[in-house]
Amino acid sequence: MLRPKRMSKVSVTGSRRVLDDVIETVHGLDLVHLVDYDGRWDGFENGDPIEGAEEASGKLVTVRSLESILDVDEDDAGPSRIVDDEELEAEIERIRTTVNELDDRRDELRAELRRVDERLSAAEPFAAIGLDLELLSGYDSLDVVVGEGDVRGVDEALDESDDIAAYETFEGDGAYVAAFAYPDGDATNVIDDALVGVEFTAIEVPDEEGSPEVYVDELRHRKQRLESQLDTVEGELEDVKLDVAGFLLAAEEELSIEVQKAEAPLQFATTKRSFIAEGWIPTERYGELERALADAVGDHVDIEELERASYDDHGHAHEREHVGGEGAAGGAAAADGGAGYTDVEDEDEEDEHHDEPPVVQDNREVAQPFEVLVNALNRPKYNELDPTLIVFLTYPFAFGFMIGDIGYGLLYMAMGWLLFQYDSEVINALGWIAVWAGIFTAIFGYLYDDVFGVHMGPDLGLDLPLAGTLDKGLQTVEWAEFWIVACILFGLVHLNIGFVMGFINERSHGLKEAALENLSWVFVVNGLWLWLFSGHLLGPKPDFLVGPDNAIAEVTGVAFTALPETAGFVGLGILVFGVVGAMLGEGPAVGMLESVTYSLGHTMSYLRMVAVLLAKGGMAFVVNLLVFGGYTHPETGYTLFGVPGAGVTGYEAEFAGLIHMDPLFVTIPVAIAVFIVGHIVVLLLGITAAGIQMVRLEYVEFFGKFYEGGGENYQPFGYRRTYTEDR
């Protein structure tokens, strides 16, 4: 599960007479990840598309254009169908004619509507002024300007101008103004010159006559008619969509398959009478490919397993198996009737033509949804360990630990179930992640004895087995300190797994290099913390970590003070050994600096889990305190919600709560609203806080120790039908 599926590079060599049958068979298997021919063999060229490819591509473009015009999506598909070639051509042409006519009409109406809107926007200011349009233009000696601005400022500017003999302004609604002015002498553009520096925006006068109010009314009426016509056309297009959407989706699928098959030879190496096709398949399915081709074309093709890719540093395959002896090009030459082509290459040439195997992640079904989190960062390389299983084991566990509430857990599971309703593999995977996170949230919630922050035992009087075994540490310092220690230990385990995976990934560099670059950090991190948990120099160490009052002893009752002092000396020795190794592997300065970062910084980063645990628990506590009120024990400081039940004594009222605040129950609706809204906020913040913080720990602290990513996705030559049935 930590490795991708083993891949084999295969070659299919044969006569061009059976090329169509081979393509049909391989396509039906949906198995071979084809590799493009790179021109490395003399006498071989990339093949030409099969006859009809261009025509099918043209039809496919037409269908996709029609889908775009009609806004067809997968939700519009009807039942799957068999698509006949004759029906396909005739129906596409019929739909194209109808849709293009309606679409052209719609474009015309939209363009006309835009023009009317522009004219309407330009005319409305003149209707506000109330002057006939022909009065606003066409003068030889009179300067006229219409615009929007500060009317008083316009009057003052015109009055102060020396170039204006007389003027008149007409004010309309909305700060619109028309200004008429007689120039003094031969001056021109006197209004524009006078209004420089005045808040004023000129508006072009429409080339129309008559009342602007009538003109505006006509434009508005024209706009209404255009909108009505546009609605009619769009309604007709919607009717066409409902009628043909299923056919278009089926036609697109059928044509996509046809084009895919027709263009496959472009990836092959071909001569006049033979072809070679190469690609990658999961090694375990090689026999399936052999049997299918043998059934389809018998001995007219030669199938070879060229390589079985090993998991080396670059993903290259060093375990080569030349089954036929001649090699792919040699076999093709024989099929071609010649003897001039061979597959004999020196090692350098082979390395030059290596292509990286595609990646098929090999995870159990229960862990597969978590591939989404891994691949969101990057798909693992073929040579890398796949961290999906570790993410599956740690992510929901840590999420549940941080939120820890039965009520929230059930809601997270419900949210996951809602995501299952979408027809999307990615969204469905996120749904499973939400379900797993909800399961662990509910489990930890039971152990914390929490339902929406309310304790089932002391608050509700329920005595359930194991409920309340754990405590979030909101009201007990010992538990808060215990979770600090627990998160450090969790981080140490998580980091060590990452270092070991990094060593495995890089051991092809040589054991020495891999050890210096990875295992050195194992010694550095574990050496420091082994010393910190030991009895050597107890004084400067935190009391909750080691000593008579350490958190482990306080919470569990185990007689533990510290590890033996000898363990501390061993830890220091391991630490020094690791630092020396890191300095040799990374360089003195970098090795020394990162020793501090890895041993303390990365490990302490896991304390964010405790922060989220306390923050989310505290928020739920505050919501419940506002709603139910609380009673605090004067000695322990422990708070119960509501009125203490029978047998619970010694508690003093801290806050009455909205439920008990008003004897006439006026505050009860407010209490219900506060409870619902408050816990929704906590629920959503839990997703962002716990979810994002754990993703960060996975990506930065864990993946950063070993993971590079960048693997090629396995895309087999084939098609999974959705809207059509095979003929």
123 plus 196 within the same structural domain: yes
Instruction: Provide the residue range defining the domain that includes 171.
Output: 116-216
> Both 91 and 177 in a single domain?
no
Query: Mapping DSSP to helix (H, G, I), strand (E, B) and coil, where does residue 671 land?
Result: helix
* Separation between Cα atoms, residue 370 and residue 392, nearest integer Å: 6
Strand 630-632 to strand 200-202: parallel, antiparallel, or no bridges (unpaired)? unpaired
pLDDT at 345 over 60: no
Q: Which residues contact 208 (CB under 8 A, 6 or more apart)?
A: 123, 133, 134, 215
Whether 712 is covered by a domain: the verdict is no
Q: pLDDT band at 634, cuts 50/70/90?
A: low
Let me know if residue 626 belongs to a domain: no
Rounded to an integer, what distance in angstroms lies between the CA atom of residue 236 and that of residue 102? 8
From 243, 262, 281, the end of a domain falls on: 262
Has residue 639 been placed in a domain? Answer: no
Q: Residue 453 — very low, low, confident or very high, per pLDDT cuts 50/70/90?
A: confident
Domain membership of residue 189 (yes or no) is yes
Is residue 708 classed exposed, middle or buried when 0-12, 13-18 and 19+ CB atoms within 10 A define those classes? middle
Comparison of pLDDT for 345 and 435, the residue scoring more? 435
- Which range has the worst mean pLDDT, 578-592, 646-660, 690-704? 646-660
Separation of alpha carbons 646 and 41, rounded Å: 90
Helices marked H in 186-327: 190-194, 212-262, 286-297
User: Helix, strand or coil for residue 469?
Assistant: coil
What per-residue confidence (pLDDT) applies to 114? 93
Average pLDDT, the chain: 86
| pLDDT at residue 284 tops 90 | yes
Confidence at residue 352, expressed as pLDDT on a 0 to 100 scale: 46
The mean pLDDT of 165-192, rounded to a whole number, is 85
Residue 64 lies in a domain: yes
202 forms bridges with which residues in the sheet? 147
| Residues composing the chain | 727
**Cross-sheet strand order for the sheet of 164-172:** 164-172, 176-183, 143-149, 200-202
Q: 640: which 2 tokens?
A: 């119960």
Examine the fold and report which residue of 572, 592, 619 is the final residue of a domain before the chain moves on: 619
Residue 340 has pLDDT above 60, yes or no: no
CB 467 within 8 A of CB 447: yes
Quick one: what percent of the chain has pLDDT higher than 70?
90
Q: Are residues 123 and 210 in the same domain?
A: yes
Domain-located, residue 717: no
Domain count, the chain: 5
Q: Nearest 5°: phi and psi at 301? A: -130, 155
Q: How far does the chain reach from its first CA to its final CA, in angstroms?
A: 38
Map 153-181 to HEC letters.
HHHHHHHHCCCEEEEEEEEEHHHEEEEEE
Half-sphere exposure of 404 (CA within 13 A, CB side): 28
| 114: number of Cβ within 10 Å | 11
Evaluate whether 669 touches 659 at the Cβ level (below 8 Å).
no
CA–CA dist 151, 176 (Å, integer): 8
Take residue 230 and report the two structure tokens written for it: 């546009």
CATH of the domain at 167: 3.30.70
The model's pLDDT over 24-54, given as tens digits with 9 standing for 90+, comes to 999 999 999 999 998 888 889 999 999 889 9
Residue 642 domain flag: no
Q: Is a pLDDT exceeding 90 seen at residue 591?
A: no
Asked if residue 479 and residue 402 are part of one domain, the reply reads no
CA 277/CA 267 separation, integer angstroms: 7
Token look-up 């609203």 returns 673
Looking at the structure, tell me whether residues 684 and 600 fall in a common domain.
no
- Specify whether 451 is located in the same domain as 516: no
Instruction: Render pLDDT for 84-111 as a digit per residue (tens, 0 to 9).
Output: 888 888 999 999 999 999 999 999 999 9
Query: Do the strands 630-632 and 454-455 form a parallel or antiparallel pair, or are they unpaired?
Result: unpaired
Do 450 and 472 form a contact (C-beta atoms < 8 A)?
yes
The owner of tokens 């993946």 is 703
Are 425 and 382 part of one and the same domain?
yes
Q: Are residues 152 and 16 in the same domain?
A: no
Amino acid at 449: D
CA 599 to chain centre: 32
The answer on 465 and 377 residing in a single domain is: yes
pLDDT digits (tens, 9 = 90+) for 429-446: 999 999 999 999 999 999
Average pLDDT over residues 135-139: 81
> Where is the domain boundary, 295, 330, 352?
352
Q: Are residues 325 and 397 in the same domain?
A: no
What pLDDT does 653 receive? 66
Residues 593 and 493 in one domain: yes
Kindly state whether residues 378 and 463 are assigned to the same domain.
Answer: yes
Q: How much is the average pLDDT of 378-406?
A: 94
Mean pLDDT across the stretch 127-149? 83
Predicted local confidence at residue 637, as pLDDT: 62
Residue 640 counted as domain residue? no
Q: What does the pLDDT average to over 283-289?
A: 94
Tell me 87's DSSP state: H
Token code pair at residue 458: 């002391």
Which of 346, 322, 340 shows the shortest CA–CA distance to 274? Answer: 340
Model pLDDT, residue 264:
94
Read off the pLDDT of each residue in 132-138 and give the average, rounded to a whole number: 80
Residues 674/659, Cβ–Cβ less than 8 Å: no
What element of type H or E holds 205?
A: none
Taking residues 696-706, what's their average pLDDT? 93
Angstrom distances, CA of residue 332 to CA of 15, 125, 269, 302, 323: 8, 81, 9, 9, 14
Q: Phi-psi category of 45—alpha, beta or left, where left has phi over 0 and alpha has psi -120 to 50?
A: beta
The region of weakest confidence among 74-83, 256-265, 414-423, 566-575 is 74-83
Residue linked to tokens 């003399």: 42
Question: With bands split at pLDDT 50, 70 and 90, how would you rate the model's confidence at 516?
Answer: confident
Q: Which amino acid is at 603?
A: T
Q: What angle do CA 267, 269, 275 make, to 5 degrees?
A: 110
